[in-house]
Amino acid sequence: MIRNVGTCRIETVQGDITLEKTDAIGNAANSMLAGGGGVDGAIHRAGGPAIMAECRRIGGCPTGGCVVTTAGRLKAKRVLHMVGPIWNGGENDEAELLAFCYRSALDLAVEHGLRSVAFPSVSTGIYGFPVRPAAMIALRTIAAFLRERSAPELVRMVLFDPGTRKAYDEGLAELLPDIAADA
């Protein structure tokens, strides 16, 4: 699904984020930037040791934050290591931390002149954040940022499985209805 926000675009696709040719890809990282499973492990395996070497130099990142590194052997130029919150029932500022995580990544993308970014669904894997609320938080945050800053030109949500893709498609359609389809 594709929706425009001013001169920018939000897309949802199902796929493997490590294959993206965008300027940057988002990584669902842990606060120690120590690599791991899921998206994080896949990015480190595909990108090679240069990514981990930079992560070690950086040392860590707080929950809700983001740091940027090389993309190593990936097709992207940079990796935005996004530290999302662990779901604890929603009573520990998880929604705010998740929104701040996306906002931090977008701020870094603009700061580094990155015109296209691909994000995974942060915190919805092993961190247990419910997919539908996470999708709405991510999409609202991204749309608001694009309205405010008119950059990056493209934000692509690259979703690993059909259920997550469906949640993001439904969220995007709700948040940004397709006016042309109603005409």
Given 40, 93, 161, 169, the catalytic residue: 40
Q: How far is CA 9 from the centre of its chain?
A: 14
**Is residue 40 annotated as a catalytic residue, yes or no?**
yes
Distance CA 133, CA 157 (A): 15
82 burial class (0-12, 13-18, 19+ CB within 10 angstroms)? Answer: buried
CB count in 10 Å sphere of residue 174: 11
> Which residues fall within 8 angstroms of residue 143, CB to CB, at 6 or more apart?
5, 10, 175, 176
Name 68's bridge partners.
80
**Residues belonging to the active site:** 40
